[in-house]
């Protein structure tokens, strides 16, 4: 194999730790979809009333999370490094925004875990795409 071919093969493979992060991300996101669909009361404070608005929100959350989880797995299976890295960056940013909301609403028990997941997803995205703050990572 030529030097160029060997370099392409090395760049083309997805590191094992990134694969584990993608599967973890897909599983957790998929679990969020199932929880929102099956038990929307878990999205609320204890003893809060389940209204039509809550059910609508839970439906949107289910659709969003299910689409993200399935696309993460599909891109991993396809070996689409750049697209997978970009989607991981989006999911990582969602986690960071979720962490900010958790802090604003004083959900201190889950905020550190959400923050850690966001950082982990962004680290995996950066590994696949290069430095995320550079234009080349997105093209």
CA dihedral 114, 116, 117, 118 (to 10 degrees): 90
Assigned token pair, 6: 């060997």
Residue 120 to residues 19, 24, 39, 87, 114: CA-CA distances in angstroms? 12, 10, 27, 13, 10
Per-residue pLDDT, 54: 86
Per-residue pLDDT, 136: 65
Per-residue pLDDT, 135: 67
Give which of 98, 12, 101, 80 is closest to 88, Cα–Cα: 80
Per-residue pLDDT, 65: 95
Tens digit of each residue's pLDDT (9 = 90 or more) over 17-48: 999 999 999 999 999 999 999 998 887 778 88
> Which stretches in the chain have pLDDT values below 70?
1-12, 132-139
Per-state percent for the chain, helix, strand, coil, to nearest 5: 80, 0, 20
User: Residues 36, 65: contact at Cβ < 8 Å?
Assistant: yes
This prediction has a pTM of 0.81
Per-residue pLDDT, 3: 45
Give which of 39, 34, 31 is closest to 55, Cα–Cα: 39
User: From CA 46, how far away is CA 36, in angstroms rounded?
Assistant: 15
Give which of 78, 81, 110 is closest to 95, Cα–Cα: 110
């Amino acid at each position: 194999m030529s030097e160029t071919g060997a370099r392409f093969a090395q760049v083309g493979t997805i590191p094992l730790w990134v694969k584990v992060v993608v599967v973890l991300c897909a599983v957790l996101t998929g679990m969020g979809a199932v929880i929102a669909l099956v038990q929307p009361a878990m999205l609320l404070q204890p003893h809060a009333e389940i209204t039509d608005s809550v059910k609508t929100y839970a439906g949107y959350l289910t659709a969003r999370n299910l689409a993200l989880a399935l696309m993460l797995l599909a891109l991993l299976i396809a070996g689409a490094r750049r697209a997978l890295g970009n989607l991981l960056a989006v999911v990582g940013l969602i986690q960071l925004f979720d962490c900010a909301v958790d802090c604003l609403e004083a959900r201190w028990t889950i905020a550190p875990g959400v923050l850690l997941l966001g950082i982990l997803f962004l680290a995996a995205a950066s590994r696949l795409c290069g430095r995320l703050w550079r234009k080349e990572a997105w093209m």
